[in-house]
């Protein structure tokens, strides 16, 4: 809602949106350029003894329009495109954190991080795969199957095709065996047996 109000204010007063976003120098520059162009138009139209030619007015209006459009484009970039880059950085950070928890076998924390990635980008195939694996290891087989199927749908490059099929097979088998009857996981290399 705040973004929309900022855009609407900027439509009326070019540069005010940049000022509200913290880009004060840029906002003041846009505002002052618009004021100069409007004043030039007023002086040419009403205060000069000879009437301005049509090409002079066209050039002035074109300059005003170009400045106004540039101001709006810059503001749209500030409000929306920069936010996209920030979301991408947050997604990458959450994914790395999820992998870190996954490697440590801290499944609940890993699940939270991969879910955070999917809140930022629900089409992230890698996060979907790891979320399915974590859910399977945590005994949440129905969720695991759902996430692995979705990963398979999203996997255009077939990057996870074999892994997804193997994990789906395991999750279905463990779900069929039921709680308490699932085979124990093999200890990691070097662990006491």
Long-range contacts made by residues 182-191, C-beta under 8 angstroms, separation at least 24? 182/139, 185/137
Scored b (16 or more CB within 10 A) or e, 121-136 reads: beebbbbbbbbbbbbb
What's the pLDDT at 4?
Answer: 78
CA atoms in the 13 A half-sphere facing the CB of 185: 10
CA 16 to chain centre: 25
161-177 vs 125-137: helix crossing angle, rounded to 10: 30
Closest of 169, 96, 101, 105 to residue 137, by C-alpha: 105
Q: Is the pLDDT of residue 52 over 90?
A: no
The phi, psi pair for 89, rounded to 5°, reads -65, -40
Q: What pLDDT, in 10s, does the model give residues 82-112? A: 667 788 889 999 999 999 999 999 999 999 9
Whole-model pTM: value is 0.54
Q: What is the mean pLDDT of residues 168-188?
A: 70
Q: What is the mean pLDDT of the chain?
A: 84
Q: Is 13 left (phi over 0), alpha (psi -120 to 50) or beta?
A: beta
Asked if 76 and 57 touch (Cβ cutoff 8 Å), the reply is no
């Amino acid at each position: 809602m705040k973004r929309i109000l900022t855009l609407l204010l900027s439509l009326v007063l070019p540069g005010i949106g940049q000022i509200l976003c913290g880009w004060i120098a840029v906002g003041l520059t846009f505002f002052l350029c618009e004021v100069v162009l409007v004043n030039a138009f007023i002086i040419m139209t009403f205060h000069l003894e000879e009437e301005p030619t049509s090409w002079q007015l066209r050039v002035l209006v074109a300059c005003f329009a170009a400045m106004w459009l540039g101001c709006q484009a810059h503001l749209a970039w500030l409000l929306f495109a920069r936010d996209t880059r920030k979301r991408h950085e947050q997604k990458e950070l959450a994914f790395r954190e999820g992998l870190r928890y996954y490697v440590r076998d801290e499944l609940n924390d890993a699940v939270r991080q991969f879910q955070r990635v999917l809140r930022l980008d629900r089409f992230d195939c890698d996060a979907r795969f790891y979320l399915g694996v974590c859910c399977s290891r945590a005994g949440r087989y129905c969720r695991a199957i759902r996430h692995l199927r979705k990963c398979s749908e999203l996997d255009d490059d077939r990057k996870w095709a074999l892994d997804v099929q193997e994990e789906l097979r395991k999750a279905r088998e463990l779900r069929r065996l039921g709680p308490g009857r699932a085979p124990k996981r093999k200890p990691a290399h070097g662990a006491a047996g």
